[in-house]
A and B are shown apart, each in its own frame.
Chain A
Amino acid sequence: MIAFERVGKRYGGRFEALSHLSFHVRRGEMVFLTGHSGAGKSSLLRLVMRLECPSRGRVVVAGHDIARLHASQVPFYRRQIGVVFQDHQLLFDRSIFHNVALPLEIQGAPPRESARRVRAALDKVGLLHRERAIPIELSGGEQQRVGIARAVVNKPALLLADEPTGNLDPQLSADIMALFEDFNRIGTTVMIASHDLALITRLRHRMLRLADGRLVADEGAR
């Protein structure tokens, strides 16, 4: 699903965020990406999202070298990836329902179909009863769950998350991770960047450990 082939990413002249990074994530796998802040977790995810292109090497997602995508194809590529952000990137001027519906709106899904899928996604994260609320009325954990609902509403083949439990207490964090496991169980490839080692070692999934932009450990691969 995701293949990094000797990928290097350099910002500005000197600073190397990633170097000689090679790994392969199979379809349907669930992978944690860990390391200290600044180790390159976010840079790696940005490469997969095609927010940036690698300075060296290739990033191949679903068989495509994504650096070769034409600018006009990038939006369509991104639609196949669900992304959960640490700050969840919700829009505060609209309801939970409309936040979750955003990816479908962008894709132009018919309203009826769209409403059905939004409710299914909200139900999955246990927030169906809050669909008419606006994000500011929700707790941090609930906001993050809305972010997850938005990421999965168009049934992406690949789900990325950047520190999804960054601001949550341990119990909420565990709940969130359990949600990701649910999505993984039905075939979604999941990649989660997190520095919450205590939590993710307990979950026993494959773990890619980054340090200074290099892959220092690849543990627990099945």
Chain B
Amino acid sequence: MNTPRKPGATSRSRAATPRRGAQAKAAANAPPPRAAGSAAAGPGASSRFRAWGRHHRAMALDSSRRLVRHPVGSLLTMLAIAIALVLPAALWLTLSGARLLDAEVDDGATLTVYLEPRVAAEEAGRVEQAVTADTAVQQTRLISAEQGMADFQQSLGLDDALDGLEDNPLPASIVVTPKDASPEAMEALAARLGEVSGVDEVRLDLAWVERLRHLAELGRRITLALGMLFSLGVLLVVGNTIRLAVESRRREIEVVTLIGATHAFVRRPFLYSGAWYGLGGGVLALGLLTLGGHWLALPVQALAASYGATFTLPALGVAGSTILLSCSTILGWLGAWVAVSRHLASIGPR
């Protein structure tokens, strides 16, 4: 609640003091400024707004100075906030990295149409045309028996073992991407395609798609629940810290209330403290996430490489960082609001 000590004002005051003192002493017996009424005459709206802005700036500065004055305590509070934020943020990052959160799951929804064995290549083209003719089909890709065999060998890494086979046991197949990936539509399409002559069997990986969808939903909900839980944690951490701050400045609050401070005025420095705690916690959380990302990057890449995949841990990016910082700041502010409001009622003037 300190007024900011503006360097300019201070030096001016020092210079002015003796001169002013002499002047004022001479005028001590003269009537001092008008007494009654002037206090009641309210200032204009624009000057009130300027005063409001001035107080905001002053309190933002003052509360940050108070944090700096107790670096260890402030840092511990921010660290507690950071830890509470890191867990849900890391989970969200992992899930989004695994693409579970994206709607891209639908891309995996394809049907595989197996042709009857020994269908000749020209005939396979005809069947593909018939399949493409269905209005629900978006795209098709014909995989000939030979290509299927080649893919199979490659994916297994069993070049030699299969060379021993005289005949190619695999049928030609058509991979069909449907326009509508909903289970019902795919089910209906599969039934229709099964009727096409030359088609042996239609497989659809609905079960897998469904499982993935459920898993994604589960991940989303767990992240959300954890996020809310840990946000509550942040509120409590900030609330408790602010409660102590309010307690330690109880006398000051009583005095300013006695001389006409509004609740908003009393609350303001604490709200700024809360926001600073939140922002500091958010920055620390970002730091921890980056650190953790670097620490895990190597083993993750090695693991992915051993599966022949490339997978890099996702980073928050500018948008994500902004969201994290705003959330943490707002949470800190909210926590302070709750704490101060609860305590203002109990303090009041004696």
Contact residues in A for B34 (Cβ distance below 8 Å): 155, 186-187
B260 adjacent to A106 (CB under 8 Å): yes
Other-chain contact of B54, A98, A108, A117, A187 (Cβ < 8 Å): A108
B39 adjacent to A80 (CB under 8 Å): yes
Which B24-44 residues have C-beta < 8 A from chain A? Answer: 24-25, 28, 31-40, 43
Other-chain contact of A188, B6, B36, B259 (Cβ < 8 Å): B36
Given contacts A94-B2, A186-B32, contact A106 B256 (CB under 8 A): yes
CB of B349 closer than 8 Å to a CB of A: yes
Which of the four size classes fits the interface of chain A? 35 or more
B13 adjacent to A157 (CB under 8 Å): no
B259 adjacent to A78 (CB under 8 Å): yes
Given contacts A131-B17, A157-B39, contact A78 B3 (CB under 8 A): no
Given contacts A115-B13, A155-B35, contact A124 B28 (CB under 8 A): yes
Contact residues in A for B39 (Cβ distance below 8 Å): 79-80, 154-157
B262 adjacent to A75 (CB under 8 Å): yes
CB of B20 closer than 8 Å to a CB of A: yes
Given contacts A91-B251, A108-B55, contact A123 B25 (CB under 8 A): yes
Contact residues in B for A77 (Cβ distance below 8 Å): 260
CB of B255 closer than 8 Å to a CB of A: yes
C-alpha gap A189/B35 in the complex (Å): 9
Other-chain contact of A98, B2, B31, B350 (Cβ < 8 Å): B2
A83 adjacent to B258 (CB under 8 Å): yes
Given contacts A115-B13, A123-B21, A131-B17, contact A75 B35 (CB under 8 A): no
A51 adjacent to B349 (CB under 8 Å): yes
Flag A135-158 by CB within 8 Å of B: 1 or 0 each.
Answer: 000000000000000100011110
CB of B9 closer than 8 Å to a CB of A: yes
CB of A10 closer than 8 Å to a CB of B: no
CB of B265 closer than 8 Å to a CB of A: yes
Nearest-neighbour CB distance to chain A for B29, whole angstroms, equals 9
Which B270-324 residues have C-beta < 8 A from chain A? Answer: none
C-alpha gap A131/B10 in the complex (Å): 11
CB of B47 closer than 8 Å to a CB of A: yes
CB of B51 closer than 8 Å to a CB of A: yes
Number of B residues, CB within 8 Å of A:
46
For the A-B complex with A115-B9, A156-B35 known, give 15 more contacts whose Cβ atoms are closer than 8 Å: A98-B2, A101-B3, A102-B255, A103-B259, A106-B260, A111-B6, A111-B54, A123-B20, A124-B32, A128-B17, A129-B21, A157-B37, A182-B32, A186-B34, A186-B35
B260 adjacent to A79 (CB under 8 Å): yes
Most chain B CB atoms below 10 A, which of A51, A102, A103, A120: A102
C-alpha gap A93/B350 in the complex (Å): 21
C-alpha gap A98/B2 in the complex (Å): 8
CB of A2 closer than 8 Å to a CB of B: no
Q: A129 — nearest CB in chain B belongs to which residue? A: B21
Contact residues in A for B263 (Cβ distance below 8 Å): 75
**Between-chain CB contacts (< 8 Å), 28 pairs:** A27-B36, A75-B261, A76-B260, A77-B260, A79-B260, A89-B254, A98-B2, A98-B3, A101-B3, A103-B259, A103-B260, A105-B3, A106-B260, A106-B262, A108-B54, A108-B55, A111-B6, A112-B9, A115-B9, A117-B33, A128-B21, A131-B13, A154-B39, A183-B32, A183-B35, A186-B32, A187-B34, A188-B36
